[in-house]
Amino acid sequence: MELKLFSGSTHPQLAKAIAKELGIPLGAVELKRFPGGETFVKFTEQIRDVDVFIVQPTCCPPNESIMELLIMLDAARRASCGRITAVLPYFGYGRQDRKDQPRVPITAKLIANLLVSAGANRVLTMDLHAQQIQGFFDIPVDHLYAAPVFVAHLRQRFNRDAQIVAPDAGSGKMAHAYADMFGCGFALVAKRRVSASEVEAPYLVGDVNNCDCLLVDDLSSTAGTLVQAALRLREAGARSVSAAVTHCCLTDVGIDRINASILDKVYTTDTVPVDVSSCPRIEVISVAPLFATAIKRIHQGDSISSLFSLESGK
């Protein structure tokens, strides 16, 4: 089958970068809104029996992005393409992965059901908020990690004398993996959530005195967790505090908090669009080469497990 890559309207810059890495042109698709707000999709080139990859992180805003992706999947299926892979660099609604109180939905499972019903044959994504989301799908899910990309980019700065820090208990396993890859120490900040946008970080486990610290997390929107953890680390004597966040879905509140914080740098990827002009402390590292390699291997029927190693981030 021929490989063709298409992009939704959420993040065409990333799709173009992936297409450039693959050495193919981005596929032609018409996307527009009717006066009433409904989405219209039309593939303007032949895709019968084609291996189709559709790039659409479900963010900015998530409801519009998800609906557009579902319509693109349905259009591709009805055009008799050979296989459809939904490429979601960022999987929206990933934080709603369980019933943590009465009478609430498991929205991550609902999104998985919708993607399959719309026509996706497989999913390619990165750093899901919860690993169990892979089990919500009844189709293959290829899950990439940003860690090799971050480590390859930052290993010169964060060496054995540094500390990799989890900003909360939920990111502890992720931070420990980063610490192993960097070959340096590990610490953890225990937080208490006051509200949806306010947190406290009263406890620190680990010695960070006179250390360069790197907070690692999969997602940040209001930046409350990162900012409070950074303050706690500085109080404990940290020499510098930076952060590496895979998905920087920052709100205006989050941008203001980072600009006013003691964070030296926030490293992130381009899984979602990031406006660095509004926050000069943010540095974006592209994951387009990693996604391009994964897409090529999926198309050829090869394994992608080797992409989890440090060499894949070079």
172-182 and 147-154 helices, crossing angle to 10°: 40
Evaluate whether 157 touches 123 at the Cβ level (below 8 Å). no
Q: Are 136 and 109 in contact (CB under 8 A)?
A: yes
- Residue 271 makes CB contacts below 8 A (sequence gap 6+) with 14, 57, 89, 90, 126, 127, 146, 246, 247, 287
Q: Which residues, at least 6 apart from 102, have a Cβ–Cβ distance to it below 8 Å? A: none
Residues designated as active site? 191
288: left (phi over 0), alpha (psi -120 to 50) or beta: alpha
- Listed residue (215, 58, 39) closest to 128, CA to CA: 58
Measure the CA–CA gap between 201 and 150, rounded to whole angstroms.
25
CB neighbour list of residue 79: distance below 8 Å, 6 or more residues apart: 43, 47, 48
Cis bond leading into 62, ω under 30°? no
Question: What six digits make up the tokens of 44?
Answer: 């303007």
Cβ(291)–Cβ(15) below 8 Å: no
Q: Which residue has the tokens 């030296």?
A: 264
Type of residue numbered 250: L
Residues 166 and 174: beta-carbon distance below 8 Å? yes
